[in-house]
Amino acid sequence: MMKHHTQFLPISRADMAERGWDRLDFLLVSGDAYVDHPSFGTAIISRLLESEGYRVGIVALPDWRSTRDFEALGRPRYAVLVSSGVIDSMVNHYTASKKPRSEDVYAPGGKAGMRPDRALIVYANRVREAFKDIPIILGGIEASLRRFAHYDYWSDTVRRSVLVDSKADLLIYGMGEKPILEVAARLARGETIREIRDVRGTCYLTDDLTDLEKSAKIVMVPSFEEVQSDKRRYADAFKIQYDEQDPIRGKILVQPHGNRYLVQNPPALPLTVEEMDRVYALPYQRTYHPVYETEGGVPAIREVEFSITSHRGCFGGCAFCALTFHQGRIIQKRSQASILAEAKKLVWMDNFKGYIHDVGGPTANFRNPSCMIQAKHGACKDKQCMDNGGCRHLIVDHREYLQLLRKLRELPEVKKVFIRSGIRYDYLMLDKDDTFFEELCEHHVSGQLKVAPEHVVDRVLKRMGKPSRAVYDRFVRKFYEINRKLGKEQYLVPYLLSSHPGSDLAAAIELAEYLRDIKYTPEQVQDFYPTPGSLSTCMFYTGLDPRTMEEVYVPKSPKEKAMQRALLQYRKPSNYKLVYEALTLAGREDLIGYGPKCLIRPPGRPGTNGKVKGGVKPGKRGGNKAEAKPGLQALKRNGKK
């Protein structure tokens, strides 16, 4: 067991002694349990620093009520790196209805409550208490999405930059490989943390802009005080941040906070293929630390243990996704050789059963740059690649991704390669060559393909940054046509989102009617969650679309949100009362009755428990085979309806 422990980075003084270390160079504090797998930022950053010769130790899920755990490995030579984990700590703790979650899959045994709310701030302040003037560097998703003044859904307030509240020295946003290596090298050369002010992908605080104004062109962002008191100014600030989130053309942004200034340097340049290959070739153990074995391990590993990241970035432009603020729109990919080498490591794992669960990224079939213009000029400032059926410069080509999948399928130890990360179906439908679509259905679907139309009402889809209903309908028809030709019985599992900005009760009812027509009952639906950093969250808070400054209807009351969600599962008896109220409030009593188009029965009559005679029972994860197949026929009969 001791030998096995040394393959992980130190988590105790005993581990350090085994390596002959009396002091660390960097201490990394994480809000997740220590999982040495490339799906976890803590693993990537720590292994990358290790590869450069630095001594790195991990303090995972420390008890924040004292400094004891933070001091356990001693004061590091250069800095303490602080991350709340792979998910924002508030999202990790609470549902969209602000109820505490009962499980934390990133903690040992899935135990909830092992990290504090706003973990980044709490951890950083404990580190400051423990080590006084040690340089503190924030990183990870919570740091990325809270780096500017931001709307906080849980307190329903606009909060200051997390850099201000944490009292840290530097914040690394986005994917942090390049910034952390540059910062580490400069600290090792003897520079102080306050001298490190020009690294791409970092933010810092200053009380003097004189030197910056002399040396660089900067863009001023409305101040914290302005965005806190004026929603229109908040939308203005968000638009500036959104527009400048590009490594090629992005400018230095400055947002005043009282008498200090938050300065964001332009994003880090994309990793080259060679740099990506290096990151994923580091000696990860690909599992959780053995210290968690007695507690049942760390549940999060199950989803990623046999999955392979092929690329980063997404040019899809979904408004509710914060990837633009974290990974960016420019695709960064690994070579096929690197991915095949990782697959060959998987097959030697004791519990590998022959199935690679995923090969993809934020969007599986966005593996290559959207166009050739980006490399020189960056992603376009005022338009999205997928808007209006795709930009005229968009390169639609699945051949290289398909070639990769074929090579993986050919590995003798591999039985099946699945694609579980999302397929962008509008991009797929733009491809005039059906080969990828056909092989996707034949080889890479495990009976059900998850897709994310999110809604079917075009005015809502427009706010979401999603393609029109007509595109999804064409995709559905083609999916079933291909499967019929292949002699396969496979089904679509659509993800749907209720209460997104722009969705009123009428839109929610129209979505329920769509589900009625295709005879589909989703087992799981998601209420819109206003997480930091997304365009949709800006709309939720301000009631304005920052892209156009148009007013947007926002369902905010708990009652309306509950009604919209219930409409997506109108067949559930427990939802009857909410659905009845929604239909009555919207003046849609025509949907209460016994006709084939009715959603529910009248109250006080037989069948008022919400069951529809001949209706469809919820099946596995969103529907059984009996309901999915009639859904296609309904689409064919009714066209868009």
Give the model's confidence band at 641: pLDDT under 50 very low, under 70 low, under 90 confident, else very high: very low
Classify domain 2-200 by CATH number: 3.40.50.280
d(CA 577, CA 600) in angstroms, rounded, equals: 10
Inter-residue contact 530 to 627 (CB < 8 Å): no
For residue 640, the model assigns a pLDDT of 36
d(CA 140, CA 88) in angstroms, rounded, equals: 9
Average pLDDT, the chain: 91
d(CA 361, CA 368) in angstroms, rounded, equals: 11
Tell if the pTM clears 0.85, that is, is over it: yes
Upper half-sphere CA count for residue 216 (Cβ side, 13 Å): 17
96-133 per-position pLDDT tens digit: 999 999 999 999 999 999 999 999 999 999 999 999 99
For residue 530, the model assigns a pLDDT of 96
Give the orientation angle of helix 273-280 with respect to helix 177-188, to 10 degrees.
80
Give the model's confidence band at 248: pLDDT under 50 very low, under 70 low, under 90 confident, else very high: very high
Output 616 or 531, whichever has higher pLDDT: 531
Q: Which residues, other chains included, contact 115 with Cβ-Cβ below 8 Å and sequence gap of 6+? A: 31, 61, 64, 84, 85, 89, 92, 93, 104, 107
Of 180-194, 318-332, 477-491, 549-563, minimum mean pLDDT range: 318-332
Take residue 407 and report the two structure tokens written for it: 């090579």
535-547 per-position pLDDT tens digit: 999 999 999 999 9
d(CA 535, CA 363) in angstroms, rounded, equals: 18
Take residue 493 and report the two structure tokens written for it: 């599992």
Give the model's confidence band at 607: pLDDT under 50 very low, under 70 low, under 90 confident, else very high: low
For residue 449, the model assigns a pLDDT of 93
CATH fold label, 306-446: Transcription Regulator spoIIAA (3.30.750)
d(CA 91, CA 232) in angstroms, rounded, equals: 26
The H or E element spanning position 461 is helix 458-464
Phi–psi pair at 402, nearest 5 degrees = -65, -40
Average pLDDT of span 79-106: 96
Average pLDDT of span 444-448: 91
For residue 606, the model assigns a pLDDT of 54
Give the model's confidence band at 335: pLDDT under 50 very low, under 70 low, under 90 confident, else very high: very high
Give the model's confidence band at 623: pLDDT under 50 very low, under 70 low, under 90 confident, else very high: very low
Asked if pLDDT for residue 238 goes beyond 60, the answer is: yes
For residue 523, the model assigns a pLDDT of 84
Give the model's confidence band at 214: pLDDT under 50 very low, under 70 low, under 90 confident, else very high: confident
d(CA 538, CA 533) in angstroms, rounded, equals: 8
Q: Which residues, other chains included, contact 88 with Cβ-Cβ below 8 Å and sequence gap of 6+? A: 141, 142, 145, 146, 531, 532
The 3-state DSSP class for residue 3 equals helix
For residue 612, the model assigns a pLDDT of 36
Q: Which class would CATH give 452-641?
A: alpha beta
Give the orientation angle of helix 505-517 with respect to helix 558-568, to 10 degrees.
10
d(CA 236, CA 232) in angstroms, rounded, equals: 6
Asked if pLDDT for residue 610 goes beyond 90, the answer is: no
For 283-347, the DSSP string reads ---SEE-GGGGGGT--TTHHHHTTEEE-EE------TT--HHHHT-SS-EE--HHHHHHHHHHHT
For residue 262, the model assigns a pLDDT of 98
Asked if pLDDT for residue 332 goes beyond 90, the answer is: yes
Inter-residue contact 176 to 142 (CB < 8 Å): no
Q: Which residues, other chains included, contact 54 with Cβ-Cβ below 8 Å and sequence gap of 6+? A: 25, 26, 78, 184, 188
What are the extents of the domains in the chain? Answer: 2-200, 306-446, 452-641
d(CA 124, CA 99) in angstroms, rounded, equals: 26
Q: Comparing C-alpha atoms, which of 370, 366, 398, 365 is closest to residue 383?
A: 370
The 3-state DSSP class for residue 441 equals helix
262-277 per-position pLDDT tens digit: 999 999 999 999 999 9
For residue 331, the model assigns a pLDDT of 94
The 3-state DSSP class for residue 200 equals coil
Average pLDDT of span 523-529: 89
* Common-topology check for domains 2-200 and 306-446: no
For residue 631, the model assigns a pLDDT of 39
Residues of the chain with pLDDT > 70: what percent? 93
The 3-state DSSP class for residue 260 equals strand
Asked if pLDDT for residue 630 goes beyond 80, the answer is: no
Ramachandran sector of residue 421 (left: φ over 0; alpha: ψ -120 to 50; beta: rest): beta
568-601 per-position pLDDT tens digit: 999 999 999 999 999 999 999 999 999 999 999 9
Whole-number Cα distances in Å, 49 to 78, 396, 517: 12, 37, 55
d(CA 139, CA 268) in angstroms, rounded, equals: 13
The 3-state DSSP class for residue 156 equals coil
Residues of the chain with pLDDT > 90: what percent? 86
For residue 605, the model assigns a pLDDT of 62
For residue 639, the model assigns a pLDDT of 38
Upper half-sphere CA count for residue 297 (Cβ side, 13 Å): 9
For residue 524, the model assigns a pLDDT of 80
Of 17-26, 231-240, 615-624, minimum mean pLDDT range: 615-624
Average pLDDT of span 36-62: 97
Give the model's confidence band at 618: pLDDT under 50 very low, under 70 low, under 90 confident, else very high: very low
